[in-house]
């Protein structure tokens, strides 16, 4: 089977954001694996208008050109890793807006989450999982939670995420699970296409 196409989705567009650090770290860890072929989907480089389509994406494709491109990129992937900043116990509005443009593109595909924020972004991770389930994704039970202590080490002490052994271990376990689910669900999607042809 061909390599699994994995999108690393960066969930925030703020200048001077921390998101690039965990995004580069998790992508590097994923790229060490023979089964993954990763690409970054940066919402800062995907200028989606605020969702105001005349019909829901499940009924009609978005009219906004940026949304059509976003939809096509998400459809082309086998799995996702969301790098999630936690805002007010939830996900950033730009991520929710981007997800609002999707319908069928992500069905029966797994999603992993690397969250950062107070309490390791645990509340934002749970909120994102609910939305991903509604989009037909299979969000993993394992996530990577980068908490305030690690964030302080990165920002104030210049430490790298690779220096935190517990995070590397959590990331490896999460990527193992992502590979398993991505292979299983891709095989299932192929079987369904054959059965329907």
Strand partners, 41: 9
Which tens digit of pLDDT belongs to each residue from 75-119?
A: 999 999 999 999 999 999 999 999 999 999 999 999 999 999 989
Domain of residue 130, CATH code: 3.40.50.360
Predicted confidence at residue 195, as pLDDT, reads: 86
In a 3-state reduction of DSSP, which class is residue 40? strand
Q: State if pTM tops 0.85.
A: yes
Q: Which residues does the chain have with pLDDT short of 70? A: 1
Domain that holds residue 70: 4-196
Q: Give bridge partners of residue 4 from the DSSP assignment.
A: 36
Domains of the chain: total: 1
**Which residue is it, tokens 């998790």?**
26
Helix or strand holding residue 122 (H, E): helix 122-134
Which token pair is 125?
């991770």
- Residue 164 in contact with residue 152, Cβ under 8 Å? no
In contact, 78 and 182? CB cutoff 8 Å: yes
């Amino acid at each position: 089977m061909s390599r699994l196409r994995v999108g690393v989705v960066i969930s925030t567009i703020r200048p001077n954001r921390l998101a690039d650090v965990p995004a580069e770290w998790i992508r590097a860890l994923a790229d060490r694996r023979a089964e993954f072929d990763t690409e970054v989907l940066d919402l800062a480089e995907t200028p989606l208008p605020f969702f105001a389509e005349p019909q829901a994406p499940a009924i009609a494709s978005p009219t906004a050109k940026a949304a059509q491109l976003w939809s096509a990129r998400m459809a082309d992937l086998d799995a996702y890793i969301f790098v999630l900043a936690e805002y007010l116990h939830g996900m950033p509005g730009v991520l929710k807006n981007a997800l609002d443009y999707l319908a069928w593109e992500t069905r029966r595909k797994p999603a992993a989450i690397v969250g950062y924020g107070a309490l390791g972004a645990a509340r934002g991770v749970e909120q994102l999982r609910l939305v991903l389930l509604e989009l037909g994704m299979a969000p993993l039970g394992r996530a990577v939670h980068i908490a305030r202590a690690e964030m302080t080490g990165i920002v104030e002490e210049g430490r790298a995420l690779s220096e935190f052994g517990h995070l590397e271990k959590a990331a490896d376990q999460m990527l193992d699970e992502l590979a398993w689910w991505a292979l299983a669900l891709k095989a299932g999607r192929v079987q369904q296409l054959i059965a329907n042809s």
